[in-house]
Amino acid sequence: MVSKNDCTDCALGAGAGYLTYKGANKYSNKLKANYAKKVMTNMQNLSQAESATLRKAVVDAFEVAGLETKGCMLHNVNPDNMKSMDALLTKNIKDRIMNLKIAKKFAKLKPLSPEEEKQLEKVLSDLIKNKKYKEAWKEFKKAHTKDSVKSSGKIIETDKSISKILKTVAEGKNAFYHPISKDIMVNVDKLGSASFHEMGHALNASGSKFLKALSIGRHVTKRFVPVILAVGLLKSNKKDGQEPNGVIDKTTTFIKNNVGKLTFAALIPTLAEEGIASIRGSHLAKKVLSPEVLKKLNKSYFLAWTTYLLASLLAAGTVKLSTVVRDKIAEK
């Protein structure tokens, strides 16, 4: 039987472990940010002539890749057009969410009456206007799988992060490919070198079954990290000679004993997909860039990939450290 003191020690240990995680995570984020800043400076380290060549090469590579025929668009984002790009991206996401042909791949849909379509349009317009894309997608599926269109009432967090990211894109500090709208957002003038990598993401998302699964799976597996952390903080170590009992106990014991390794494993799909995107982007660049510029580009891509590797290692180490601190206090 577990004593009151044991419960108190476990609670104190879990709390200390969580605080350790928060502190270590904050410190690791600073390390990642400083390293990423250096990598970004390296990616922007091109002469005016090389930058001019790169701008034309980006357009040529987009055509060579045939991405437009796959529904993708390349947008040159800058401070002057940032707001219009934000509006365009929002519209494209809305159109994709409401595209029946796309939706059929994910849900068994029933046709809607004109009145239901009008009601759904209003619900989705309000949600998408506030960038609640995930909730809009849920409402779309719900409308086509149930007899009535009603708002669930549970509105998830507003996805204002896209606007923040677009600001960094306009400043030439970031670039991204949006998998729903199939838009590539990049400041070609300031960070054109990232364009090929983002095209690589677009090619992955429209490529083989494996690459498509990898593109989606990276966003799924990384969600296991909080679960791994929770098990590590809440699960007590087995005493000497004590064996796990039952499937749940065996599973959580395995997770507890391998929190660091499992955290890193959960991030491997991200490492793999990012690496493949860079490789495919490099292959595209090879067709339109000189060997000298390509060499600089490949170096930048390798350094950029190591930021993901560093982030994965730091995440694994942070989770492991938090559980060690937890155990030291709970099992003293």
pLDDT, one tens digit per residue, over 125-148 is: 777 777 777 777 777 767 766 543
Q: Is residue 1 over pLDDT 70?
A: no
Q: Quick one: average pLDDT of 32-57?
A: 79
- The whole-number pLDDT of residue 38 equals 79
- Positive or negative CA dihedral for 192, 198, 200, 202? negative
pLDDT digits over 53-62, tens only?
A: 888 999 999 9
